[in-house]
C-alpha cells in the first residue's frame, strides 16, 4: 500500500497550511443521490478514519452534501481533529429535495450556512470556507463581502471559490485573499483551463472535482487501460496520476463510500507516468 506522504504526493500551501496533493472529497459518504444518511454508516466512518491513516490531510465537504450529513459524519469520525488536518467546507447551494441543487448567495444565507457548518463540524473557525457557486440573482461582490465579514469575525480562516470563471476569480480577489479554487477538471474536461493557468500564476490551489471522468479513454484498449496495465495500476489511478503530473497547483479530491476504493485511489501517488505516456494522454484527450 502506497502511503500518501509529502514525498509521494507533493505538497501545496493553502493559506497558512501545507497539505498533501491528494485529498478526500466527502460528498459520496452520504445517501444515494447525495441525499440523506449513507446506506452503511459504519463504512462511511471507516472511510474517513482510513483516509487520515493513509496520510490524507485535506478533507473537502459542503453543507449541501446530505444536506448536513457529510459534515456530521466527519465530526463523528474524526473530532477532535488530528493536528495538521485541514477541513474545507462550502456554502451557497441549497437542497430542496433529492437531485435538486439551487443557488443561494445571499449574505444572510451564507452567514446562516457558515454558522451551521461550525456547529456540525464542532469547530470555532473553519479552516477553508468556499463559496460553492456564484448566484446570478445576487451581486457577486455581496456574496464575497459576506465571506469577508465572517473572516473578520474569526469564523473562517481562509476563503476559497468553487465553480467560477476567470472574471469571478479576479473580482473576488479585489475584496479578499482567495487561497483556492474548486472547479470541474479532468483528463477529458478542461473547460476551466484558463482558470487553472491563472491559479498557477497566482500560486492558488486548484481542487479539481470529478477527477475520474475519462469517457472512451478508459474503455477497453484505450490509452488509460494500456498505460494502467504497464504500471500494474487501474485507469482511475492513472487519471489521478495525470492530474498530479499536470500542474503543481492541482490537488485532486477523489471521493468514495468504500474503504477498498479509497485505498485504490491512494495508490495513484505511486504511479509515475513517463513523458511519453503523458504526451499520449494529452494527444488522446
SS3 helix, strand, coil % of the chain, rounded to 5? 45, 20, 40
- How far is residue 18's CA from residue 135's CA, in Å, rounded to a whole number? 30
On whether the CB atoms of residues 172 and 195 are closer than 8 A, the answer is no
Q: Which residues pair with 24 in a beta bridge?
A: 59
SS3 letters for 80-98?
CCCCCCEEEEEECEEEEEC
On whether the CB atoms of residues 91 and 117 are closer than 8 A, the answer is yes
78: alpha, beta or left? (left if phi > 0; alpha if psi -120 to 50): alpha
Residue 65 among the catalytic residues: yes
- How far is residue 87's CA from residue 198's CA, in Å, rounded to a whole number? 24
- How far is residue 169's CA from residue 138's CA, in Å, rounded to a whole number? 16
- How far is residue 104's CA from residue 106's CA, in Å, rounded to a whole number? 6
- How far is residue 256's CA from residue 210's CA, in Å, rounded to a whole number? 12
The active-site residue, picked from 65, 81, 129, 140, is 65
- How far is residue 132's CA from residue 13's CA, in Å, rounded to a whole number? 21
On whether the CB atoms of residues 240 and 22 are closer than 8 A, the answer is yes
Catalytic residue set: 65
Amino acid at each position: 500500500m502506497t502511503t500518501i506522504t509529502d514525498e509521494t504526493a507533493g505538497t501545496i500551501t493553502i493559506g497558512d497550511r501545507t497539505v498533501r496533493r491528494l485529498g478526500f472529497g466527502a460528498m459520496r459518504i452520504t445517501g444515494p443521490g447525495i441525499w440523506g444518511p449513507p446506506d452503511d454508516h459504519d463504512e462511511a466512518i471507516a472511510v474517513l478514519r482510513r483516509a487520515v491513516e493513509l496520510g490524507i490531510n485535506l478533507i473537502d465537504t459542503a453543507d449541501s452534501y446530505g444536506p448536513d450529513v457529510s459534515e456530521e459524519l466527519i465530526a463523528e469520525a474524526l473530532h477532535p481533529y488530528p493536528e495538521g488536518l485541514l477541513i474545507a467546507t462550502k456554502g451557497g447551494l441549497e437542497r430542496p429535495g433529492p437531485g435538486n441543487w439551487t443557488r443561494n448567495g445571499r449574505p444572510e444565507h451564507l452567514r446562516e450556512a457558515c454558522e451551521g457548518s461550525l456547529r456540525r463540524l464542532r469547530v470555532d473557525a473553519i479552516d477553508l470556507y468556499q463559496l460553492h457557486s456564484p448566484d446570478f440573482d445576487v451581486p457577486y461582490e455581496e456574496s464575497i463581502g459576506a465571506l469577508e465579514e465572517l473572516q473578520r469575525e474569526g469564523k473562517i480562516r481562509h476563503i476559497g471559490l468553487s465553480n467560477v470563471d476567470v472574471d469571478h476569480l479576479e473580482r473576488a480577489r479585489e475584496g479578499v485573499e482567495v487561497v483556492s479554487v474548486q472547479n470541474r477538471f479532468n483528463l477529458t474536461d478542461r473547460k476551466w483551463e484558463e482558470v487553472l493557468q491563472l491559479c498557477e500564476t497566482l500560486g492558488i490551489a486548484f481542487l479539481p472535482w470529478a477527477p475520474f471522468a475519462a469517457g472512451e479513454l478508459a474503455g477497453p484498449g484505450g490509452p488509460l487501460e494500456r498505460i494502467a496495465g504497464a504500471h500494474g495500476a487501474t485507469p482511475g489511478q492513472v487519471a489521478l496520476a495525470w492530474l498530479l503530473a499536470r500542474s503543481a497547483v492541482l490537488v485532486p479530491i477523489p471521493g468514495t463510500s468504500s474503504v477498498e476504493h479509497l485505498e485504490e485511489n491512494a495508490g495513484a501517488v505511486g504511479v509515475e507516468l513517463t513523458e511519453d505516456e503523458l504526451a499520449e494522454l494529452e494527444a488522446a484527450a
